[in-house]
Structure 1
Amino acid sequence: MFEKVAGLPGHVLVVHAVVVFVPLLALLAVAYGVLPRWRDRLGWAVAALAVVTPVVAWVATESGEAFERVLRDGGYPPEILSQVETHAAYGDRLLWSTVALAVVAIALLLATSGRARARALPSWLPVVLTVVAVGLAVLATVYVYLTGETGARAVWDGVV
């Protein structure tokens, strides 16, 4: 599953979507929380990204595991495989931080929706959700960097 797309490793292609979508979800979820005036404009984008981004991150993780199996079977040197393991560990953390950010973003959307049930919620809840969203946004963005950096090093160290 997800091993090859048009003859290329699927992982190599899908990671680019993760590099774009995760920081975009992070930025828009934080903006939605801290800029109430913009909520009407940002809500649809936050909702769409909160659904799509974890799926893309999951596909990247699954395709990365398939790619790692190919590398292991291909007899790559242990030092490269060690770098790939580090990359994979960061990728797993990226997936879960992205899922958490998406859940909090959706909760923030629901808590600020203006519906009767949302108005019955405590007034401090959107503030708490915004603070949590900021923390998760920073965490997910850091993991995008660390995952990408370790993956690039595994591929390009000694080549360039």
Structure 2
Amino acid sequence: MSLTVVNGLPAHVLIVHFVIVLVPLSALALVVGAIWPSAARRMGVVLPLLALVTLASVPLASEAGEWLEEHVDSNALVRKHAELGDGLLPWAAGLLVLAAVVWWTARRPAAAEAGSGDRSRPVTARSATAVRVVTAVLCVGVAAGAMVDVYRIGDSGAKAAWQDGFTKSAQGDQGDKD
């Protein structure tokens, strides 16, 4: 099943708004959770679920965009937008993987405190801090990459849709009157 047209509009035009909202929201939640473990514990399973919905929205927007690409005049701007759009899926997958890691690591200390107190595998504070720092750096990098990619894709899509498609003055304007 493929979405092509919704209420007379190409589905891509509608679905892409989910991507535009969900990618930055997931990226922000991921970075906050990675830097602030108590926030990750409060977000709980919502963090990886948000990233999962984000990941699912990307191929839906891409598929709808491929349909739209076949139904509009092809030009360099449309081709560039389509090419850039193909690169978002790995970033969204990275958000999901890291969101799962942040969620898992944030819940483990809480479970360990309430658990049996098994100390057969001690984790030093130094190694735990190192893991948190590396995870936070990865999260910031993937979040930034995903957001920059969404911006670039959106900018190229707007140019493809609106380049030379409007005038700077409203119809009927006779110029600036002071």
The TM-score normalised by the length of structure 2 is 0.78
Match in the other structure for 2:176: none
Residue 6 of structure 1 is matched in structure 2 by 7
Question: Contact 1:47–1:106 (CA<8 Å) still a contact in 2?
Answer: yes
Structure 2 residue runs without a partner (length 5+): 113-118, 167-178
Residues in 1 aligned to 2:62 and 2:68: alpha-carbon distance in whole angstroms: 10
Secondary structure (helix, strand or coil) at the match of 1:159 reads: coil
TM-superposed CA distance for 1:66, in Å, is 1.1
- Taking the aligned partners of 1:65 and 1:126, their CA distance within structure 2 comes to 40
Query: Which is richer in helix?
Result: 1
Q: After superposition, what is the alpha-carbon deviation per residue over 1:56-110, rounded to whole angstroms, capped at 9, x for unaligned?
A: 1111111111111122xxxx2x5xx211111112111122211111111112211
Give the aligned residue type for 1:142. V
Question: Secondary structure of the residue that 1:70 maps to in structure 2?
Answer: coil
CA distance in 1, matches of 2:7, 2:132: 45
Listed as ranges, the matches of 1:15-34 within 5 Å are: 15-34=16-35
Confirm or deny that 1:154 pairs with 2:160.
yes
Give the drift of 1:37: 2.6
SS of match in other structure, 2:33: helix
1:40 alignment partner in structure 2: 41
Partner of 1:62: 63
Q: Which residue is equivalent to 1:99? A: 93
Structure-2 residue corresponding to 1:126: 132
User: Residue deviations 1:108-156, cap 9 Å, x none?
Assistant: 211222146xx96762333322211110100000011110100000010
Counterpart AA for 2:49: A
Q: Distance in 2 between matches of 1:98 and 1:140?
A: 7
- In structure 2, how many angstroms separate the alpha carbons of the residues matched to 1:6 and 1:44? 34
Task: Name the larger-Rg structure.
Answer: 2
Match of 1:143 among 138, 145, 149: 149
Q: Give RMSD over aligned pairs.
A: 1.9
Where does the alignment leave 5 or more consecutive residues of structure 1 unmatched? Answer: none
Identity %: 37
Structure-1 separation of matches of 2:98 and 2:37: 16
Normalising by structure 1, we get a TM-score of: 0.86
AA paired with 1:106? A
